[in-house]
Amino acid sequence: MRNEQAVYRRVLRRETHASRTSAAVVTAVVVIVLLAGVIAVGVWWLAVPGDRDTIEGWFDSASALAGDRAALVTAGVVGLGIAVLLLALALLPGRLPRRARSTERVALLVDDGVLADAVADAVAARCGVDPRQVSATVGRRRTAVRVTPISGVPVDREAAADSAASAVAALGFSATPELTVARQGVVS
Partner 1 sequence: MRSNSRVLNRGLLLLCGLLLAAAGMTAVLAGTPSWESRWTGPWSPPDLVGRGLSRAGETAATLPSVGGVPGGVLVGLGLAALLAALLIWFVCTRHRGGTTTVLRLEADGGHTAVDRNVAEALLSAELEERPDVLSARTRVYRVRGTETIDLAVTVRRGADLARVLAATEQAVDAWDALAGVRVPIVVRLSDRSWSDGLRAPDRVR
Binding to partner 1, residues 30-49 (CB under 8 A): 31-32, 35-36, 38-39, 42-43, 45-46
Give the total of residues touching partner 1 (CB under 8 A): 72
Q: Which of 20, 95, 132, 157 binds partner 1 (CB under 8 A)?
A: 20
48, 64, 65, 80: residue in contact with partner 1 (rule CB under 8 A): 80
How would you classify residue 111: left for phi > 0, otherwise alpha for psi between -120 and 50, otherwise beta? beta
Candidate list 64, 65, 73, 186; residue touching partner 1; CB under 8 A: 73
Residue with Cβ nearer partner 1 (28 or 186): 28
Is 96 a residue that touches partner 1 (CB under 8 A)? no
Instruction: Report the distance separating Cα 163 and Cα 31, nearest Å.
Output: 53
Q: How far is the CB of 67 from partner 1 (least distance, A)?
A: 10
Residue 55: name the closest of 67, 64, 42, 68 by CA.
42
Whole-angstrom distance, CA of residue 174 vs CA of residue 166: 8
CB of 183 to partner 1, least distance (A): 27
3-class SS of residue 178: strand
**Closest CB to partner 1 among residues 23, 179:** 23
Cα dihedral 179, 183, 184, 185 in deg (nearest 10): 40
Interactions with partner 1, residue window 148-187 (CB under 8 A): 167, 170-171
Write a three-state SS string for 6-52. HHHHHHHHHHCECCCHHHHHHHHHHHHHHHHHHHHHHHHHHHCHHHH
Stretch that binds partner 1, among 6-14, 55-63, 141-149, 175-183 (CB under 8 A): 6-14
